[in-house]
């Protein structure tokens, strides 16, 4: 299978290295166009925060088992295109050839190769990279079928296994826990304290779960305003934090502070004004933002990082338990793709073999047709065609079946047939000369 991939991801390089070879959409477009002109007949490039991977069909036209020189050339290209040689080296990359390339892409599409097992975003990221390549006209039949098969793996994984179920990030676990406490978040209000990276992720999850009202506060008010401008909600003053406690059912706090920003007394006073209406608090700050004794206040339910980490760990273990099921799907789809690829190799060979025999048959019939009476000439056509069909029956059947043979064995068989009967373009050219 004439296919190669090179890439860099969270397993082979730290973030400060990976970000040096992150490709924007425009850079992907120009990179694949350059590669198509020089090294590939078809190619596409995927680039996310955790991986950059290049897939291609080398334009030498012959199947490759291992071509380390080509792999190194592609790694150098990805590095030099980004002018990143001062930061990135070949050792940060991995490579795959032939069927191994297909298997790797299927693992990526399924989410089991992601930093977070079961990542649901990777399938759309593959689609985005491939769409750019389609627009740049660097794809064709093979890569189209390859990516379609990867999509199918991803969709089957999500519908036939539980690999994507359960929160596996602290911010998502916080919102999932809130959703379990309050079955309908659409009727609830949440106060998000902190508009940093974790706060932003939490806000996105709250909005995604349909929170009724979102209040966001931050020491720097402008950051809170930026967040609500993109997601919706209302930015409120940090200085009036205790007053905002009266209007929220859920409080999620994620700020960097040397001491508690809310104490037991703060919450106690607020609960009296709330008439002890239940208050759900999630503290995902490090150090902790909420005084732990708050949990002793009536109708206040406080969960911290340890509690959420326990939920995340449990869910991760559940996802890992699904990996054997995912691998079974990948094996099935890999077999299907391999069979499709084999048909591309076998069918043209069978067709060429039949054309070769038919050309000889017709040539001999033409040479000897006058030796037969007019009434026997139709019989001559029939008999010679039957002879050709019988001669080709066993070779055709064996080429199509080939059960138990490896890819290399089948490829060798096809190569021998084409060579023996002069079916290659080069051989035919020599024959004509």
Q: What is the DSSP letter of 370?
A: G
By the 10 Å C-beta count (0-12 exposed, 13-18 middle, 19+ buried), 403 is classed as exposed
Q: Which of 11, 25, 30, 49 is catalytic?
A: 49
Distance CA 264, CA 266 (A): 5
49 flagged as catalytic: yes
Which two three-digit tokens encode residue 191? 């106060």
CA 235 from centre of chain:
36
- 68 Cβ contact partners less than 8 Å away, ≥ 6 residues apart: 95
Q: Backbone phi, then psi, for 138, in 5-degree steps?
A: -110, 15
Identify the CA nearest to 303 among candidates 171, 174, 180, 175: 174
- 119 Cβ contact partners less than 8 Å away, ≥ 6 residues apart: 111
Q: Which helix (H) or strand (E) holds 321?
A: helix 305-321
For 104-159, the DSSP string reads HHHHHHHTTTSSSTT-SSHHHHHHHHHHHHHHTT---HHHHHHHHHHHHHHHHHHH
**Edge-to-edge strands of the sheet including 4-9?**
40-47, 51-58, 4-9, 94-97
Residue with tokens 């048909």: 343
Give the end-to-end CA distance of the chain in Å, rounded to a whole number.
32
Catalytic residues: 49
């Amino acid at each position: 299978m004439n296919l190669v991939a090179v890439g860099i991801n969270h397993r082979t390089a730290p973030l400060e290295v990976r970000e040096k070879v992150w490709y924007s959409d425009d850079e992907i477009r120009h990179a694949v166009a350059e590669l198509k002109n020089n090294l590939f007949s078809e190619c596409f490039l995927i680039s996310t925060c955790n991986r950059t991977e290049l897939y291609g069909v080398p334009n030498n036209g012959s199947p490759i088992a291992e071509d380390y020189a080509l792999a190194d050339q592609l790694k150098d290209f990805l590095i030099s295109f980004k002018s990143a040689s001062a930061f990135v080296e070949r050792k940060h990359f991995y490579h795959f050839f032939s069927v191994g390339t297909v298997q790797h892409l299927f693992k990526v599409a399924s989410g089991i190769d992601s930093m977070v097992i079961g990542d649901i975003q990777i399938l759309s990221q593959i689609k985005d990279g491939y769409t750019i390549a389609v627009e740049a006209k660097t794809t064709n039949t093979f890569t189209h079928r390859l990516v379609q098969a990867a999509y199918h793996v991803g969709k089957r994984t999500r519908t036939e296994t539980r690999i994507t179920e359960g929160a596996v990030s602290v911010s998502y676990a916080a919102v999932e826990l809130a959703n379990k406490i309050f079955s309908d978040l659409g009727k609830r209000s949440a106060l998000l304290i902190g508009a940093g990276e974790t706060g932003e992720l939490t806000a996105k999850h709250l909005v995604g779960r349909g929170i009724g009202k979102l209040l966001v506060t931050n020491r720097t008010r402008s950051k809170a305003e930026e967040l609500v401008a993109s997601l919706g909600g209302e930015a409120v003053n940090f200085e009036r934090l205790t007053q905002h406690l009266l209007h929220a059912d859920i409080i999620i706090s994620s700020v960097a502070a040397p001491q508690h920003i809310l104490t037991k007394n703060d919450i106690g006073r607020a609960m009296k004004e709330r008439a002890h209406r239940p208050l759900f608090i999630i503290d995902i700050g490090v150090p902790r933002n909420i005084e732990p004794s708050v949990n002793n206040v009536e109708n206040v339910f406080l969960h911290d990082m340890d509690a959420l980490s326990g939920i995340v760990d449990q869910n991760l273990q559940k996802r890992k338990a699904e990996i054997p099921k995912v691998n079974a799907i990948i094996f099935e789809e890999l077999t299907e793709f391999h069979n499709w690829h084999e048909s591309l190799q076998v069918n043209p060979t069978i067709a060429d073999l039949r054309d070769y025999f038919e050309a000889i048959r017709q040539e001999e019939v033409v040479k000897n047709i006058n030796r037969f009476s007019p009434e026997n000439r139709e019989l001559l056509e029939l008999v010679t065609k039957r002879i050709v069909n019988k001669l080709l029956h066993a070779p055709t059947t064996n080429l199509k079946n080939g059960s138990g043979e490896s890819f290399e064995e089948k490829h060798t068989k096809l190569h021998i047939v084409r060579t023996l009967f002069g079916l290659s373009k080069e051989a035919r050219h020599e024959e004509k000369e």
